[in-house]
Amino acid sequence: MSIQHSVPGDTVADDATPVRQDFIRQIVRDDLAAGRQQAIKTRFPPEPNGYLHIGHTRAIWTDFGIAAEFGGVCNLRLDDTNPAKEDPEYVAAIQDDVRWLGYDWHDLRHASDYFDVLYLAGEKLIKQGDAFVCDLTAEQVREYRGTLTEPGRNSPYRDRSVEENLDLFRRMRAGEFPDGARTLRAKIDMGSGNINLRDPALYRIKHVTHQNTGDAWPIYPMYDYAHSLSDAVEGITHSLCTLEFEDHRPLYDWCVDKVDLAHHPELVAPLQAKGLPFEASKPRQIEFSRLNINYTVMSKRKLMALVQENLVDGWDDPRMPSLQGIRRRGYTPGALKLFVSRLGLSKQNSMIDFSVLENTLREDLDAAAPRRMAVLSPLKFVLTNLPEGHEESLRFSNHPKDASFGERDIPFSRELWIERDDFAEVPPKGWKRLVPGGDVRLRGAGIVRCDEVIRDANGEIVELRGTLDPESRPGMAGADRKVKGTIHWVSAQHAVPAEVRLYDRLFSVADPDDDADGKTYRDHLNPASRTTVQGWVEPAAATAAPEQSFQFERIGYFVADRKDHRADKPVFNRSVTLRDTWSAGA
C-alpha cells in the first residue's frame, strides 16, 4: 500500500519571499514578539555513535533553517557522553554531512567541553538534597522502577546524608570504584506517572577512554542530564527535538531549574578558565515528529548491524539511508531539503512513501542534470550504407529544457551500440521500436531500418544490420517522415566502456521493522537491490567529475561515483529511474 502524507500547516508564499508557517515557527515568532527572547539560538546535537541518516535531514533543516530565518545562530554540538560507542570517524562524517547539505554552524561544541561544569552541577544537586549515590545494580534499578501501571520503590540508599553522597561521588570521580558499582541519581519521585522522573541516573561509572578527554574521567553523565545542561550553558533559546523526547521534557526542565546555571556563575568557572564562551539560559524544549520512510530502517543500531555483518558495503553503500550513502547514490542537497520542506513540521508521526523521496529527486535532477547517452545492454547495429571508417560529429543540446546548459558534439559512426531491449523480432502489441524490416528514429541522427539479423552458433542475436535514410537528419527534407519510435545510441568506435551499478530499494517490503511473522529486517533485504552491468557511454559522460549527475536518456538519472569513477574507467550509480517502478501498475 502506498502511504503518502501531505503535512498541513507548512506554506510558502512564493519562490522570492518564502514565509513558512508551522507550529514551531509560530512559537518562535510569538516569543520574539512578546520579548521572551531577544535573539534565537538553536543547536543540532547528534550523538557521534554512528552516521547520520535521511531522518536527520528534517532535524538539520529545522535547527539550522529556523535559526537563519529569524536572524539567529545554530551550534553543532556532538553529545559525546558515551565514549564506548563513539568514534572520531563519526564526528568527521557528521560535520561533512552538515556542510554538504549547505549549512554551517555558529560554534562547534562537544558535551565533553562541559564535563567539569556537569560534575560541579552534580555536587550542587547533592548539596541541595536533589541527588544521591545509589549502589543498586542495573538489574535492581529496573526492579525498583515499577511499571506503567505500578509505582516504583525508593532505593534503600536514597536517604544517605549529603556528606556521604558527596564523599562517594568524589570517590567515583577519582576512579575508586569499578564499572557499574554506583550511580548518581536524581531524587525526584518514584511514584510519578512519568517513568523518566523515577529517580533517573545522572552519572554512571565507566572506565573508558574518551576521544576528547582521554582517561581524565572514569564517570560520564547520562544523556538527558548532559543534554539539558549543555543547552543551558550554550544559551540555546529553543531546544528542538523529536517526539520521543516529549516524555523527557519534565526531566529536562527539572535539571535546568535545579542547577540554575544563570544564578550560579561558580559552576561555569571551568569554562572561563578554558576561554570557552557561555551564555546561561533556560531553553524551551519543543518536539516535532520524526521523519519515517517506508522500505527502509532508521535505527542506528540496525544500520550499524548491516555494516558490521557485511550485509552492505559500509556506511556509504549507496543502498544505505545514511547521508553518506544517499549522497553516493546521487541524491542532492536540494532534493533532500525540498523533500523535508514540503513535508513540513507536525506533532503527528506518519509514514512517508519512499516514492515521494524519489519523485523529489527526479524533479530536482530533471532541472539540474545535463543529458547524456549510454547503452547498458548493448546490441551492435551496423549501418551498411555508410562507408567503412565513416566518422562525424553531431551537435546535441545538453538540456532540452534549458539552453543555458549549452551544446556538445557526439561522435557518430557506421557501427553503433543500441539497447538490446529496443529490438524485437516478434514485437508485442503496441511496440514502437525496432523490428526486422521496420523503421525507427535514431536520436538526433536520422531514421534507420533494420534489414538483417545476425546470430551466433547458439542462435543468439549478436548484431543487426540496416541502413540510414540520409535525408532524414534533423533539418533535412525527410526529417518530418513519420515513424513510431525514437531510440538512443552510442558510437561503437568512440563509446567508453563503463561500470554501471543499478541500485534499488534495500528492502523488499514496506515495513522491514515489522517482526510479527517472526522475521527480522535482515530477512527482508532485497536481493535485487544492486545489479552491476558493463555498459557504454558517450565520451562526454566518461569525462564527468566525481559526483556529477546526468540523465542517461530514456534510462534514468545516474551519478559518477564519488570514489571509484575515473575518466579512463568510468563508474556510474543509478540514482533513480525515470519513472516510479514500484507503484501499482508501473
Query: Is 290 one of the annotated active-site residues of the chain?
Result: yes
Q: Is 300 among the residues known to form the active site?
A: yes
Q: Is 427 exposed, middle or buried (0-12, 13-18, 19+ CB in 10 A)?
A: middle
**Do the Cβ atoms of 510 and 295 come closer than 8 Å?**
yes
Residues 6+ apart with CB under 8 A from 17: none
Q: Which of 300, 372, 505, 530 is catalytic?
A: 300
Contacts 24+ apart (CB under 8 A), 448-452: 448/381, 448/383, 450/381, 450/423, 451/384
Determine whether the annotation assigns residue 298 to a binding site.
yes
Any known ligand binding at 49?
yes
Q: Is 364 annotated as a binding residue?
A: no
Cell of 32: 520574539
Distance CA 327, CA 64 (A): 20
Cell of 75: 551550534
Q: Measured between alpha carbons, how far is residue 371 from residues 359, 361, 395, 534 in Å?
A: 18, 16, 13, 20
The dihedrals phi and psi of 413, each to the nearest 5 degrees, come to -145, 180
State the DSSP string of 173-196.
Answer: HTT-S-TTS-EEEE-S-TT-SSGG
Measured in residues, the chain has a length of: 586
Q: Are 254 and 285 in contact (CB under 8 A)?
A: no
Annotated ligand binding at 300? The verdict is yes
| 260 in a known ligand binding site | no
CA-based R_g, the chain, Å: 31
Give the C-alpha separation, 10 to 23, whole Å.
9
| Active-site residue, from 85, 145, 290, 481 | 290
Instruction: Please report the DSSP string for 454-475 in residue order.
Output: EE-TTS-EEEEEEEE-TT-STT
Confirm or deny that 47 is annotated as ligand binding. yes
Task: Check the annotation: does 304 bind a ligand.
Answer: no
Does residue 172 have a known ligand-binding role?
no
Q: Select which of 20, 25, 43, 47 is catalytic.
A: 47
Q: Sort strands 549-552 and 530-537 into parallel, antiparallel or unpaired.
A: unpaired
Which element (helix H / strand E) includes 132?
A: strand 131-134
Query: Is 530 annotated as ligand-binding?
Result: no
Q: Which residues are annotated as a binding site for ATP?
A: 47-49, 242, 290-291, 298-300
Residues known to be catalytic: 47, 290, 300
Known binding residues for L-glutamine:
79, 223
